[in-house]
Amino acid sequence: MTSRTTETVEPGEIVLWDARHDSHDRIATRTFGFWLYMLSDAMIFAALFTVYAILGHNYAGGPTAAQILHPGRALIETLVVFTSVLAFGLGMSALKHGNRSAVLNWIAVAFVLGVAFVGLEIQAFAHLANHGIVPQRSAFLSAFYTIVLTHGLHMVFGLLWMAVMAVQVLRDGFTDNVVYRLLNLRIFWHFQAVIWVCVFVFIYL
């Protein structure tokens, strides 16, 4: 038997929430499938970190890690990305209560902080490029650029995904498809924070 309940979120706003038992099962199954994808992504980063461990001290007469990497700046980036993850997590907490406006507000905060992180990364790479510190200089720089840029591309993809989800929440409310996509995005966004911690610890420190 199919049942649906209604929940008033704001004056004049009604959100339909599918209360069928198999609704939760479908969302759980799709989320599990996304976890499998994330494992493959983790293997890619594991390979990149392995390459860096092998080539990370091959400076070929170029600048060393201590000369171009600034842990203080990376710490600021770490705080920014973790605050973004926290904001998205608060949005997912609001999702449990069916509060559409709170979900959208927290997604907006997470998005702005994510853009700030990417902006800091672009600024850092522009500074290096202006001083001729490019991937071709050494194996160390090639490995460094590859890891950080790969993570940066994941962040950009996450921001695009976040923008799309904000539109879908605003347009469709909390349907099954919207909810499972938001849950998968939460997994993806948390994963980026974990990868950045690895970058910070194993490269910048």
* pLDDT tops 90 at residue 19: no
- The secondary structure of residue 61, as a DSSP letter, is T
pLDDT of residue 61: 85
Task: Give me the mean pLDDT over the 143-162 stretch.
Answer: 96
- What percent of the chain stands above pLDDT 90? 69
Q: What is the pLDDT of residues 90-111, one digit of tens each?
A: 999 999 998 999 999 999 999 9
Single-letter amino acid, residue 40: S
CA 80 to mean position of chain CA atoms = 12
pLDDT of residue 4: 44
pLDDT of residue 71: 92
- Picking from 153, 139, 127, 164, the residue whose alpha carbon sits closest to that of residue 62 is 139
Q: What is the pLDDT of residues 65-98, one digit of tens each?
A: 889 998 999 999 999 999 999 999 999 999 999 8
Q: Would you list the DSSP string of 107-118? A: HHHHHHHHHHHH
Take residue 57 and report the two structure tokens written for it.
């001290």
Take residue 130 and report the two structure tokens written for it.
């202006």
pLDDT of residue 103: 96
- What percent of the chain stands above pLDDT 70? 85
Q: What is the pLDDT of residues 23-61, one digit of tens each?
A: 556 666 667 778 888 999 999 999 999 999 998 889 988
Is-contact 91 102, C-beta < 8 A? yes
Please report which confidence band the pLDDT of residue 3 belongs to, taking 50, 70 and 90 as the band edges.
very low
- H or E element: which one contains 15? strand 13-18
Q: What is the C-alpha to C-alpha distance for residues 147 and 49, in angstroms, rounded to an integer?
A: 7
Please report which confidence band the pLDDT of residue 121 belongs to, taking 50, 70 and 90 as the band edges.
very high
* pLDDT tops 70 at residue 6: no
pLDDT of residue 203: 92
Task: Give me the mean pLDDT over the 124-132 stretch.
Answer: 92
Take residue 58 and report the two structure tokens written for it.
């091959």
For the chain, give the mean pLDDT. Answer: 87
Task: Give me the mean pLDDT over the 4-28 stretch.
Answer: 49
For the domain spanning 25-204, the CATH number is 1.20.120.80
pLDDT of residue 21: 47
